[in-house]
Structure 1
């Protein structure tokens, strides 16, 4: 991903969250069953065709992974939000607090972490909807809990509203 040199680019959401939950459950990393979310932010390049180009580069470099690249500069339109100011700002509008996390490499051994809603829920195995999904989109949050089977897969998780 570093070779793409994405403006404000991160690996985010389930890939990071699941790795943390696996670690906190004392087990080896789970197999990748979904996509790996790559987010970036560049308001000058909002055509989704560019995201598909980046996905193709990533697939060629690391085949077998379902890469999902999304420029957060346009995602507010799909979500009915005000325009986002950065990739990190966009994460504030995601469904769960523990999912609003992203990482990127810094140099050969460093790592940046973006967690606009904090890491407490993630680190304490708490499933909690973000305020918007609690107030306005609760059915979406509840559907995600059921369809993703998180509590079944990570039994120490606790739901809190």
Structure 2
């Protein structure tokens, strides 16, 4: 695996991932993506040569809708997804409201929110477009992901306070326990 095209192909070849993407697409959410560990774990599993996928604590579906910023709507959407695929641990978040929880300035889009995730290797999203083609966004590129380097996004590197949040998260996640080839910038 060497580039964005390889990542996309790897996901397209994974029936489980494509089923999840197809389920999320059924919601027809504005500016939606499945992000973070969904992509990162797939890539790191492949790069580590794992035969079994890493179990994910949740599947993060994010979208941007300034018209309905009620958390109850997110829970309703999770219930709809559970009806479609009950075995999947869905988590749905509207990034139009998440800046409040994250104590940040408002995001302008889902991609803007993803760009402000703590780690570059997690600041990723995939979705199916209207034609069913797989699209990947990586606001900070995919080099860190493919090189298995965990480092802060520019947003989390800009102050000691944010860098401390990033460091604590990396320690808490303890990704190197599962993926021993990753390198941590802490």
CA contact (8 A) 1:22 1:30 kept: yes
Distance 1:21 1:141, change over 3 A: same
CA contact (8 A) 1:91 1:101 kept: yes
Alpha-carbon distance in 2 for matches of 1:97, 1:33: 19
Q: Partner residue of 1:159?
A: 184
Q: Partner residue of 1:145?
A: 170
**Gapped regions of structure 2 (runs ≥ 5):** 1-23
Q: Secondary structure at the match of 2:80?
A: helix
Q: Partner residue of 2:117?
A: 94
Which structure has the highest strand share of the two?
1
Q: CA deviation at 1:29?
A: 4.5
Q: CA deviation at 1:60?
A: 1.2
Alignment of 1:60 onto 2:89: no
Alignment of 1:10-159 (within 5 A): 10-106=33-129, 107-108=131-132, 110-134=133-157, 135=159, 136-159=161-184
Alpha-carbon distance in 1 for matches of 2:139, 2:152: 14
**Gapped regions of structure 1 (runs ≥ 5):** none
Alpha-carbon distance in 2 for matches of 1:132, 1:103: 21
Alpha-carbon distance in 2 for matches of 1:154, 1:31: 10
RMSD (CA atoms)? 1.5
